[in-house]
């Protein structure tokens, strides 16, 4: 199984507003940068999209480390998703889960790989996160 380290980030100018996502993939001494955006979105949607697009880029099942500054993404995929599925994609207070279609997509992609999730402090001295942040900002439409 290949080993891949992924750094992801999302950015939004206004929340909601124009947003971007970025991902840096590192494997075998090679790097791949991905970014994109949407004219009207939220920061959480961009954080999720960054991870989804990064996992879509992997052609074979891999050992993956995902570094995100989004506790929403890390907690959602590791913990909350199990309850949401049990509750028919409803939260504990019976409201529909926000971004459910993205969570379903992320879960399907994540199931193809062996993933370890890491939370990193955003805008701190973490080169991978800083590069993912720069890519996300590059993806914001109109920038």
Q: Is 47 a catalytic residue?
A: yes
Q: Which pLDDT tens digit goes with each residue over 34-76? A: 999 999 999 999 999 999 999 999 999 999 999 999 999 999 9
Domains of the chain and CATH, by start: 2-70+110-139 (3.30.420.10)
Q: Is 9 a catalytic residue?
A: yes
| pLDDT beyond 80 at 86 | yes
CA angle, corner 79, sides to 75 and 82, nearest 5?
Answer: 135
Choose the catalytic residue: 7, 22, 37, 69.
69
Q: Is 82 a catalytic residue?
A: no
Q: Is 33 a catalytic residue?
A: no
Are 11 and 49 a contacting pair, CB within 8 Å?
Answer: no
pTM: predicted TM-score of the whole model, two decimal places? 0.96
User: What pLDDT was estimated at residue 1?
Assistant: 66
Q: Is 133 a catalytic residue?
A: yes
| C-alpha dist (Å) from residue 81 to 14, 89, 104, 112, 117 | 27, 8, 9, 17, 14
């Amino acid at each position: 199984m290949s080993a891949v380290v992924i750094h992801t980030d999302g950015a939004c100018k206004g929340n909601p507003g124009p947003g971007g996502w970025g991902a840096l993939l590192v494997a075998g001494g090679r790097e791949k940068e991905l970014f994109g955006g949407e004219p009207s979105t939220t920061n959480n949607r961009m954080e999720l999209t960054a991870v989804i697009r990064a996992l879509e880029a992997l052609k074979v099942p891999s050992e993956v480390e995902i570094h995100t500054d989004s506790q929403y993404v890390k907690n959602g995929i590791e913990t909350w998703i199990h309850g949401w599925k049990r509750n028919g994609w409803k939260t504990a207070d019976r409201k529909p889960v926000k971004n459910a279609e993205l969570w379903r997509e992320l879960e399907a992609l994540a199931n193809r790989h062996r993933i370890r999730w890491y939370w990193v402090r955003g805008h701190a001295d973490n080169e991978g996160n800083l590069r993912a942040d720069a890519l996300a900002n590059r993806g914001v439409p109109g920038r």
